[in-house]
């Protein structure tokens, strides 16, 4: 199936190095996990859940980050470099031609920032949908809820661990499908 036919959607959720306060001197927030769930929009189902662990180059995983995401430094040390992760997204998930969605703009902005630092090429198409904004508008909410709260509002279960990129992508995909069933998901 051609990625440009509009049938498949990549739902992306990233986890990045983080700290309870400011980043330690010389460190910057970097993506350490890319969660991806592929949705077949025509069939209205989640097809697959993927996880790409990314080895940080300019930061380390703090205890705060481990408590939040469950990811440890030793685990992310087994990951691929960020440039390779972007290549995997482009090659295996057709990210450059397939529409994609994320919960808010954080994920898109984190990729943009990290790609600007070089040498990775931005892997995604311009066809991005902010699922958080669509959800808030569909439910008449002035404040855009976090993913876990949105699942509760929609009457959907939180599957897996919150702040796990692959589990969050899977859950965001459930919210996208729920919006589709209500005919509130934008059509390309």
Q: In this structure, what DSSP letter does residue 60 have?
A: -
At what angle are helices 131-138 and 147-154 packed, to 10 degrees? 40
| pLDDT(124) > 80 | yes
Q: How far apart are CA 133 and CA 136, in angstroms?
A: 5
- Pairwise CA distance, residues 101 & 134, whole Å: 10
Q: Which residues contact 104 (CB under 8 A, 6 or more apart)?
A: 130, 131, 132, 133, 144
Two tokens at 23?
């980043």
72 dihedral zone (left: phi>0; alpha: psi -120 to 50; beta)? beta
Residue 187's pLDDT is 79
Q: What is the pLDDT of residue 48?
A: 93
Percent of the chain scored above 90 by pLDDT?
Answer: 95
pLDDT of 4 reads 46
What are the extents of the domains in the chain? 3-181
Number of H helices, E strands in the chain: 7, 5
- Cα angle 21-27-32, degrees, rounded to a multiple of 5: 90
Mean per-residue pLDDT over the chain, rounded:
96
Q: Are strands 45-53 and 8-16 parallel, antiparallel or unpaired?
A: unpaired
- Structure confidence at residue 188 as a pLDDT band (50, 70, 90): low
pLDDT digits (tens, 9 = 90+) for 46-80: 999 999 999 999 999 999 999 999 999 999 999 99
- Read off the pLDDT band of 6 (50, 70, 90): confident
* pTM of the predicted protein model: 0.96
**C-beta atoms surrounding 42 within 10 Å:** 11
Select 3-181's CATH number: 3.30.200.20, 3.30.420.10, 3.10.180.10, 3.40.190.80: 3.30.420.10
What number of other Cβ atoms are within 10 A of residue 21's Cβ? 7
- The whole-number pLDDT of residue 1 equals 42
d(Cα 51, Cα 93) in Å, to the nearest integer?
Answer: 12
Cα distances from 80 to residues 45, 47, 158, in angstroms, run 29, 24, 28
């Amino acid at each position: 199936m051609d990625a440009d036919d509009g049938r498949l959607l990549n739902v992306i959720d990233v986890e990045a190095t983080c700290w309870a306060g400011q980043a330690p001197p010389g460190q910057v927030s970097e993506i350490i996990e890319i969660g991806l769930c592929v949705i077949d929009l025509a069939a209205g189902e989640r097809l697959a859940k993927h996880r790409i662990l990314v080895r940080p180059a300019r930061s380390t995983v703090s205890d705060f980050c481990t408590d939040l995401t469950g990811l440890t430094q030793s685990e992310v040390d087994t990951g691929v470099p960020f440039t390779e992760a972007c290549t995997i997204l482009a090659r295996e998930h057709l990210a450059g031609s397939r529409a994609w969605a994320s919960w808010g703009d954080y994920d898109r902005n984190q990729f943009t920032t990290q790609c600007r630092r070089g040498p990775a090429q931005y892997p995604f198409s311009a066809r991005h949908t902010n699922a958080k904004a669509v959800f808030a508008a569909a439910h008449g909410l002035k404040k855009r809820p976090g993913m876990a709260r949105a699942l509760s509002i929609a009457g959907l279960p939180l599957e897996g661990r919150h702040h796990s990129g692959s589990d969050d992508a899977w859950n965001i995909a459930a919210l996208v499908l729920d919006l589709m069933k209500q005919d509130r998901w934008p059509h390309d």
